[in-house]
Amino acid sequence: MKKELDKAYDPKQFEDRIYRMWREKGCFHAEVDPQKEPYTIVIPPPNITGQLHMGHALDNTLQDILIRYRRMQGYSALWVPGVDHASIATEAKIVEAMKEEGLTKEDVGREGFLSRAWEWKEKYGTRITDQLKKMGSSLDWDRERFTMDEGCSEAVKEVFVRLYNEGLIYRGERIINWCPHCKTSISDAEVEYEEQAGHFWHLRYPLSDGSGSVELATTRPETMLGDTAVAVNPDDGRYRHLVGKMLRLPLTDREIPIVADSYVDMEFGTGVVKITPAHDPNDFEVGLRHHLPVINIMTEDAHMNGLCGVYTGLDRYEARKRIVADLDAQGYLVRVEDHTHNVGTCYRCGSVVEPRVSKQWFVKMEPLAKPAIDCVRNGDVKFIPERFDKVYFNWMENIRDWCISRQLWWGHRIPAYYCDACGEMTVSKDAVTACPKCGAPVHQDEDTLDTWFSSALWPFSTLGWPEKTPEFDYFYPTSTLVTGYDIIFFWVARMIFSGLKYTGKPPFHTVFIHGIVRDEQGRKMSKSLGNGIDPLEVIDRYGADALRFMLATGNSPGNDMRYSEEKVKSSRNFANKLWNACRFIMMNLSDEITEASLPDVLTVEDKWVLSRFNDVVKEMTENLDKFELGIALSKIYDFIWDVYCDWYIELSKPRMQAGGETAENAQKVLLYVMQGMLKLLHPFMPFITEEIWQVLPTGGQDTIMLADWPVYDDGLCFAQEAADFEKVISAIRGIRNRRAEMNVPPSKKAKVYIETREPQLFGQMGAFFERLAGASAIETAASYSFESAVTVVTDAARIFIPLDDLIDKDKERARLVKEQAAVQRDIEAVSKKLSNEGFLAKAPQNVVEQEKEKLSRHQERLAKIEESLKAL
């Protein structure tokens, strides 16, 4: 009993069912298999707080294309799934949720908070992975990981202790970026700068000895309460005599010195800078050089602290207003200018970051960066597109130490323990209960690690490291990392130096970078703009395959793209086209045919389509190997639509009607090419290709996922026949063109006379001319002479259609003259090239040959046109 397909493509009918089938068959699972080459991708773990957005959809589509392609090629292709605990984002959500209940972190305590966090993880951690399944992602769910699961936690502790013992992790009092809303330190990479309109307040600080004052400018007047010096450039003649003198700091009873430091730019402002070591990274450095006191004047939520006298308790911006007003009242404010400057904000919550001196843990970067730079420079790790290695080098070469401690509870707790009695610090993988020095009780560091600390280990922690697992041996280093350019710093760079440091190998060979998906107007999709498109809604309306096709098509590595519903629609239309091509086959397929095999005798058009298919196989494979996914996709798209549907299927129709062996042979070729096309398309549109595969007779291959990727077949290379058939195609096109031009109704048939040197070729094509070119019949000969006929000239033929009543000799002549001129122009251009000695001498032989062939083709055509003109 032949299976039937619905008339229209409706992905909802089968996508979920197909995905379930794949899982039940274990198609996604990859095993260590010494017989096969491994191919590995680890997913960029989405946050447990996250929901699938277009960025995920793109990222996962690209990964799935690569992994499905390699799986079909026979690799043991592993795509490791997992999610990230996203310490700061998750903690913020839970704090927010507790706020609704009127609770704070402190109310519930660390234990209580963590149990809420784990509940959250259980509840929402599967949301995003379920959404990835809707995309068709062929992730090996048996190997799903979580950055805070036992194995990953083990890896984190291992790394921390090793780096600490090597002196590459240290604890110190430094100025760090502090988010007053999240109440934690954040790393440099987590600060986003945005330009804001502000002011320049020019202040006057009086000299203690009453001999005058200095004028300086600041964008943050409220920090003056923490000033511990004023600096000038040592070479600045204007102020040299003042260096070493003391100033009376307005609004306080403190005196601060004038120091000389080359950090000060003489050209900028007044050349005098107030120094606030506790609240500015540069000032902190100046302070270190001059042994200045560090006076922290703010609380952790950016209010003025107890050192601020009447300003105590005020928010920093409120304090700014009051301080400026008071300075003004007391005559210390000289003037105010408008000034725009870059303000650092927290990448999670957007609050203005407050530089703050505090005790934190750091990773010493310089020794780690060096090998990480080398491995990209020497090609062990390749960025695609290449230009991103510059971005990478730039960051790595200017990197500063990485602040890894966070004042958060959700995350990997720092494995450092402090003695309550002697203060001794112990860093250990195993829990420490008593001080190894004095035996007194200890307490563990309260802080957790930056989320990205565990993400940096992801390519190997997920494969079992630090255990020596077979998976790690086999699948590591991974093959390709697919991610957006926006997280090169956060993640890619850190994985590279981590992989090199701990495993001795870079964690992947290739970094395949993509851009971001913008909205239809080219704006970044964002929550605040509300312009985000929900991929799940798109899937619901058009199917996952259409979404995937849209994301993969016309998308070149590293470049942004725009979402457009129109593009999704055309993708869906393409799916429908393929669907109907399959319906056509099924309607005509003989029951005798149970698998794809070619007939013993192939016609010219069979050889043409097979040859074309063979070319596509070769080209697509090369494109995919070079990560040219968009190009590969457009090739199979063109083949399916233009070659297979528009031509080959149409050509098969008269053969079907002829019945018998003629029909059966056509069916065999149709089926053979269809199955090949489905395989080539499968990585891009897995659902529809599988659904069709299930309907076609495949000789027992029960899933296309595990079918072999087609390889170029020398036996199917029919260059001569393919070229011959192209001549037929251009003849048919020429006739259609002329008929359309002359408004000949399709119903009006006419006999077609083909003057050609290849009568045997054209002679056997009668049925095609009848079906596709409105011919009532055809006739071929070496020469014809018609007084009055529509003439079509192609490279290989001169075609006459006696449509007497429609002929207008003048028009016909005018058209031929126009064509003649065009061909003459072509001949001129080619002749010019061929008479250029430089060209003949230096161009490759095959290019010269091509030009010569072109010339003779044009000349032949010209002769035919001229002949027709004469006849008129």
Query: Interface with RNA includes 649 (CB under 7 A)?
Result: yes
Cβ atoms of residues 297 and 307 within 8 Å = yes
DSSP per-residue letters across 770-785? HHHS-EEEEEEES---
Least separation, in Å, of the C-beta of 643 and RNA? 11
Residue 570: CB minimum distance to RNA, A: 3
Q: Which stretch binds RNA (CB under 7 A): 54-62, 557-565, 593-601, 810-818?
A: 557-565
Report the b/e string of 499-525 with b at 16+ CB within 10 A.
bbbbbeebbbbbbbbbbbbbbeeeeeb
Which range binds RNA by CB under 7 A, 41-49, 108-116, 157-165, 562-570? 562-570
Closest approach of RNA to the CB of residue 557, in Å? 8
Angle between helices 544-552 and 565-588 (to 10 degrees): 120
For RNA, which residue of 556, 788, 831, 859 counts as binding (CB under 7 A)? 556
Joined tokens for residue 212: 């005058």
Q: Which is nearer to RNA, 100 or 566 (CB)?
A: 566
Encoded one letter per residue, x for contact with RNA by CB under 7 A and - for no contact, window 681-710 reads: ------------------------------
8 binds RNA (CB under 7 A): yes
- Given 16, 149, 188, 445, the residue binding RNA (CB under 7 A): 188
Size of the site for RNA (CB under 7 A): 95
The only residue of 3, 211, 746, 805 in contact with RNA, by rule CB under 7 A: 746
Q: Which stretch binds RNA (CB under 7 A): 25-33, 215-223, 456-464, 472-480?
A: 215-223
User: Looking at 854, 859, 866, 869, which residue binds RNA (CB under 7 A)?
Assistant: 854
Write the binding mask 307 to 346 for RNA: x where contact by CB under 7 A, - elsewhere.
Answer: ----------------------------------xx----
Rounded distance between C-alpha atoms, residue 120 and residue 240, angstroms: 62
SS3 labels along 569-629: HHHHHHHHHHHHHHHHHHHHCCCCCCCCCCCCCCCHHHHHHHHHHHHHHHHHHHHHHCCCH
CB of 448 to RNA, least distance (A): 24
Cβ-contact 30, 67 below 8 angstroms = no
Structure tokens at 220: 């943050």
Binding status of residue 37 toward RNA by CB under 7 A: no
For the record, the structure tokens of 443 come out as 């307490």
777 Cβ contact list (under 8 Å, min separation 6): 751, 752, 766, 770
Cβ proximity of 138 and 76 under 8 Å: no
Rule CB under 7 A: say whether 443 interacts with RNA: no
> If you search the block for the tokens 């491995």, which residue do you land on?
375
The SS3 assignment for 798 reads strand
Q: Which of 434, 587, 719, 781 binds RNA (CB under 7 A)?
A: 587
Taking residues 705 to 744 in sequence order and writing x for each that binds RNA by CB under 7 A, - otherwise, the string is ----------------------------x--xx--xx-x-
Q: How many CB atoms lie within 10 A of CB 9?
A: 25
Length of the chain: 872
The reply to whether 555 sits near RNA by the rule CB under 7 A is: yes
Nearest one of 705, 536, 681, 575 to 135, comparing CA atoms: 536
For residue 146, the surrounding DSSP H or E stretch is: strand 145-146
Q: How far apart, in whole angstroms, are the C-alpha atoms of residue 255 and residue 275?
A: 13
Window of 189-197, 464-472, 677-685, 697-705 that interacts with RNA by CB under 7 A: 189-197
Query: What is the closest distance, in whole angstroms, from the C-beta atom of residue 627 to RNA in the complex?
Result: 10
In 3D, which of 263, 220, 260, 222 has the Cα closest to residue 241?
260
Q: Beta-carbon neighbour count of residue 201 at 10 Å?
A: 25
Segment 259 to 298, residues that bind RNA, using CB under 7 A: 263-274, 280-282
Q: How far apart are CA 848 and CA 843, in angstroms?
A: 7
Q: Which of residues 382-401 bind RNA (CB under 7 A)?
A: 387, 390-391, 394-395, 398
> What would the two tokens of residue 800 be?
């006459």
Establish if 845 lies at the interface with RNA (CB under 7 A).
no
- Mask for 515-534, x = binds RNA (CB under 7 A): -------x------------
Residue 838 as a binder of RNA (CB under 7 A): the answer is yes
Q: Which helix (H) or strand (E) holds 396?
A: helix 388-397
Q: Work out how close the CB of 53 gets to RNA at its nearest, in angstroms, rounded to a whole number.
A: 17
Residue 193 or 317: the one with the smaller Cβ distance to RNA is 193
Choose which of 653, 749, 751, 815 interacts with RNA (CB under 7 A).
653
Q: Does 776 bind RNA (CB under 7 A)?
A: no
Rounded to a whole number of angstroms, the minimum distance from the CB of residue 531 to RNA is 14
| 92 vs 513, beta carbon nearer RNA | 513
Contact 417, 426 (CB under 8 A): yes
At its nearest, how many Å lie between RNA and the CB of residue 361? 20
Beta partners for 79? 41
Residue 369 is given by DSSP the state H
Phi-psi bin for 796: left (phi > 0), alpha (psi -120 to 50), beta? alpha
The strand ranges marked E within 410-523 are 416-419, 425-427, 442-444, 448-449, 478-484, 508-514, 517-518
Q: Minimum distance from CB of 190 to RNA (Å)?
A: 10
The residue with tokens 């968009």 is 630
Which x/- pattern over 487-516 shows residues binding RNA (rule: CB under 7 A)? --x---------------------------
Stretch that binds RNA, among 141-149, 371-379, 643-651, 759-767 (CB under 7 A): 643-651
Interaction between residue 554 and RNA (CB under 7 A): yes
Among residues 622, 708, 804, 808, the one that binds RNA under rule CB under 7 A? 622
Among 213, 444, 570, 694, contact with RNA (rule: CB under 7 A): 570
User: Minimum distance between the CB of residue 870 and RNA, rounded to whole angstroms?
Assistant: 24
For RNA, give the closer residue by CB, 210 or 745.
745
Query: Which CB sits closer to RNA, 395 or 712?
Result: 395
Distance CA 274, CA 796 (A): 86
User: CA 525, 339, 299 angle in degrees (round to 5)?
Assistant: 75
Span interacting with RNA, options 76-84, 173-181, 564-572, 797-805, rule CB under 7 A: 564-572
